[in-house]
Amino acid sequence: MRRHTDYALARRAVLRDLQRGSVTRLDVCDAHPELLRAGRNVGDVAPYDCPVCGQDAVRFVSYVYGEKLGAANGRCISYAGELEKLGAAHDEFTRYVVEVCLDCRWNHLSRRELHGRRHAESGATADSGRRVARR
Ligand SMILES: [Zn+2]
């Protein structure tokens, strides 16, 4: 089990606000061009349609952050096996998975995971992840 934080609750809250009209599409469909490009070129196809526009255009893009990652710090994962390779080479880093719609530019943080050798074996707890989720 990897430590991870799921942002499904925050996502639902945003979508509820959108339905109620307290936020507009302009507020939530504001994906940065770089994120759209990453989604188009290296994103993974999401198994569901866009919650805002209903198009089959949602992609997952992963970014990795870690002091020790060096040149890879802040980069998006761009080829199959890259995450595993980084995981084998570093003790700890964080992966953020963002969902982005290539059609309407909806985007939201989907989940946060801790990776690396320190988290490779089972027995890790999800404590640090939960703390972040409560912020
Ligand atoms: Zn959309």
Q: Is the CB of residue 71 less than 8 Å from the CB of residue 86?
A: no
pTM of the model: 0.83
Q: What is the pLDDT of residues 109-133, one digit of tens each?
A: 999 999 999 998 644 444 444 444 4
- Beta-carbon neighbours within 5 Å of ion ligand 1: 50, 52-53, 101, 103-104, 106
Burial tier of 100 (Cβ tally within 10 Å: 0-12, 13-18, 19+)? buried
pLDDT in tens, 89-98: 999 999 999 9
Q: How far is the CA of 46 from the centre of ligand 1 (A)?
A: 12
C-alpha 49 – ligand 1 centre gap (Å): 8
What's the 125 CA to ligand 1 centre distance in angstroms?
35
Which residue ranges make up each domain of the chain?
4-134
